[in-house]
A = this chain, B = another copy of it.
Amino acid sequence: MDDESLSTILKAASDPTRRAILTLLAQQGPLRVTDIHSRFDMSLNSVSKHIKALERAGLVKRRTEWREHLIEVDMGPLSLIDAWFAELRSIWELRLEALDGILSKEDPEDDRPEPDRRTRHRRRA
């Protein structure tokens, strides 16, 4: 549905460091920014930025207790991606079924322009 948040989520997940952070959080549970930083050979600032990217995508949630910011993974948005994949797959399968049904009936030329190989020059609407 929401195309923009889908982009944000996928883009956030497309970075190896961010995926590693997600994995770390999944197996270790809520951690502080500093704890996460200690696992990576990278400046604390960069880690903080990555976390903010994950936060923007909704893949992690921040729970601020006293002076520590606990970061925990949120599996929710992943289902959005699942849903998109499922939709794409179903569209694809629907087309195949429809193709099956048409195979012997309609004039195939005006439905989808099936390339008529090695005839004279292709013109299409």
Contacts and interface: CB of A to CB of B under 8 A. Distances in A.
A16 B3 contact: yes
A23 B85 contact: no
A48 interface: no
A66 B118 CA distance: 8
Interface in A5-26: 6-7, 10-11, 13-16, 19, 22-23, 26
B91 A26 contact: yes
A47 to B, nearest CB: 16
14 contacts: A4-B16, A10-B13, A11-B14, A14-B14, A22-B88, A26-B88, A26-B89, A27-B92, A32-B115, A35-B124, A66-B118, A73-B88, A75-B92, A81-B85
